[in-house]
């Protein structure tokens, strides 16, 4: 690892060099399942993890290994594990620390897929969870049980963009010998380094900003060599959640522009958030780059940028919210985020539909909440699209009263 390189350089060059045989600069795609060894002793060493190498496709491949080393370097970790999706990364990270009879504390403002795994599948393994307000570290600690074995947080959270104090939470958890897992998907390694702030494991849905082109499903778990070795062999490999060589190649290619993409996402999102906050038809905007955000100062201290996601509530509620996104012409209704295109969705009926309404409201996910993944288009075109959709939202006779 070239530790003296800056982030933008590492993204392009870390763990990659021209092919020694052909001189090709582009990464080779090696989709092999089986690998030959010069002798039985070498094969045994690789299988035991005593020597570097790949021995069977379910446990990785050379193309994916290049990508894993790059991700580990960008996050400042000893190692990383590439897996088949963001949910594979989340489930592997949790199962790496939890077994039958264990309990995990989870931030209450969490991605719907994570909630669904913890409330539907994890109980079948005998794993318990409690969703707590992790903005209150003292209150979070009070929720610790004798069988609590891990703490799982998202920051910024999906979809409310709640910012959690990673350093404060991890310092408190270390006193209780609890590992902290941080979902860093919304930030990417460009904008936030949870491990530097004390986290034990970082997870990413690489489907989003790391790949950035909407054509790959992938995830990463990042942490110590010991933790990653266990997860690779006993979880990813044994359960068959491996990342394939072609998708690894696409991510390596897509990552070369990640610094530029993330910078543009942040700049466009800030402009869109400011526009929405000033609009008379918008009730409230959630974006850490706004001074009105409750954790704005923490965001400035903890993050290098405010990200590309903006959430907001339209005046009137769910009917008006759905009418708004149905009226957009440039932005597209979609479940994903982090793509070049601007994508919008209604969390209560889409990404967070698995959470019962009563709990959604407790978590702050109202029926009128809209999430926008601000894309790479010219920001004036993005705003013009929202402007025309908002203008058509209310009858002319209602506009003056709403604007007041």
Active site residue 124: no
Q: Which pTM does this prediction carry?
A: 0.95
The beta-strand segments (E) located in 155-242 are: 180-183, 201-205, 219-223
Q: Which of 10, 108, 149, 208 is catalytic?
A: 208
Q: Which of 35, 56, 58, 233 is catalytic?
A: 58
Q: Which residue has the tokens 């979609």?
A: 334
Query: 401 with 280: CB under 8 angstroms?
Result: no
Please confirm whether the linkage preceding 156 is cis (ω < 30° from 0): yes
Q: Nearest 5°: phi and psi at 325?
A: -70, -25
What are the structural domains of the chain? 7-255 (3.40.640.10), 258-403 (3.90.1150.10)
Please write the tens of the pLDDT for every residue from 12-37: 999 999 999 999 999 999 999 999 99
Active site residue 111: yes
Pairing of strands 219-223, 201-205: antiparallel
Query: 392 with 327: CB under 8 angstroms?
Result: yes
Six token digits for residue 170: 């991890």
Return the minimum-mean-pLDDT range out of 247-251, 297-301, 313-317, 376-380. Answer: 313-317
Q: What is the mean pLDDT of residues 183-188?
A: 98
Residues contacting residue 233 through CB under 8 Å, at least 6 positions apart: 49, 59
Write down the pLDDT at residue 365: 80
Active site residue 55: no
Active site residue 183: yes
354-382 core/surface letters (b: 16 or more CB in 10 A; e: else): ebeeeebeebbbbbbbbbbbbbbbebeeb
Query: 115 with 353: CB under 8 angstroms?
Result: no
Highest average pLDDT, of 51-55, 296-300, 394-398, comes from 296-300
Task: Indicate the pLDDT class of residue 395, thresholds 50, 70 and 90.
Answer: confident
Rounded to an integer, what distance in angstroms lies between the CA atom of residue 62 and that of residue 51?
Answer: 14
HSE (side-chain half, CA atoms, 13 Å) at 149: 14
Q: Which of 111, 209, 275, 281 is catalytic?
A: 111
Q: Is the pLDDT of residue 399 over 90?
A: no
- Nearest residue to 128 (alpha-carbon basis) of 161, 80, 94: 94
Q: Which of 165, 183, 200, 385 is catalytic?
A: 183
């Amino acid at each position: 690892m070239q530790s003296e390189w800056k982030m933008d350089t590492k993204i392009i060059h870390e763990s990659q060099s021209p092919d020694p045989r052909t001189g090709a600069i582009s990464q080779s795609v090696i989709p092999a399942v089986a690998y030959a060894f010069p002798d039985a002793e070498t094969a045994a060493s690789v299988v035991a993890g005593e020597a570097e190498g790949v021995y069977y496709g379910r446990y990785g491949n050379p193309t994916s290994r290049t990508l894993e080393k790059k991700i580990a370097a960008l996050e400042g970790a000893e190692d990383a594990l590439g897996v088949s999706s963001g949910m594979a990364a989340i489930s592997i990270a949790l199962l790496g620390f939890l077994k039958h009879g264990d309990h995990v504390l989870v931030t209450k403002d969490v991605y719907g897929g994570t909630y669904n795994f913890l409330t539907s599948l994890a109980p079948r393994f005998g794993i318990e969870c409690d969703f707590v307000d992790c903005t209150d570290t003292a209150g979070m600690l009070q929720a610790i049980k004798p069988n609590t074995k891990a703490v799982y947080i998202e920051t910024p959270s999906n979809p409310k963009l709640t910012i959690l104090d990673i350093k404060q939470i991890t310092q408190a958890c270390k006193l209780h010998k609890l590992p902290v897992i941080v979902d860093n998907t919304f930030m990417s390694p460009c904008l936030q380094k949870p491990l530097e702030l004390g986290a034990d494991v970082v997870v990413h849905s690489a489907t989003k900003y790391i790949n950035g082109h909407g054509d790959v499903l992938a995830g990463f778990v990042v942490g110590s060599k010991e933790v990653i070795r266990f997860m690779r062999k006993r979880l990813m490999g044994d359960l068959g959640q491996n990342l394939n060589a072609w998708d690894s190649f696409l991510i390596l290619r897509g990552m070369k522009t990640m610094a530029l993409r993330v910078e543009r996402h942040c700049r466009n999102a800030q402009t869109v958030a400011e526009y929405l906050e000033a609009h008379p038809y918008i009730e409230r905007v959630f974006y850490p780059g706004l001074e009105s955000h409750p954790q704005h100062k923490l965001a400035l201290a903890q993050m290098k940028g405010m990200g590309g996601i903006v959430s907001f509530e339209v005046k009137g509620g769910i009917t008006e919210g759905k009418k708004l996104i149905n009226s957009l012409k440039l932005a597209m209704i979609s479940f994903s985020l982090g793509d070049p295109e601007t994508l919008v969705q209604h969390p209560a009926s889409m990404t967070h539909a698995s959470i019962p309404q009563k709990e959604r409201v407790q978590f702050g996910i109202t029926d009128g909440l809209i999430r926008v993944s601000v894309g790479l288009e010219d920001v004036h075109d993005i705003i013009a699209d929202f402007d025309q959709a908002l203008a058509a939202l209310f009858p002319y006779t209602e506009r003056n009263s709403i604007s007041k």
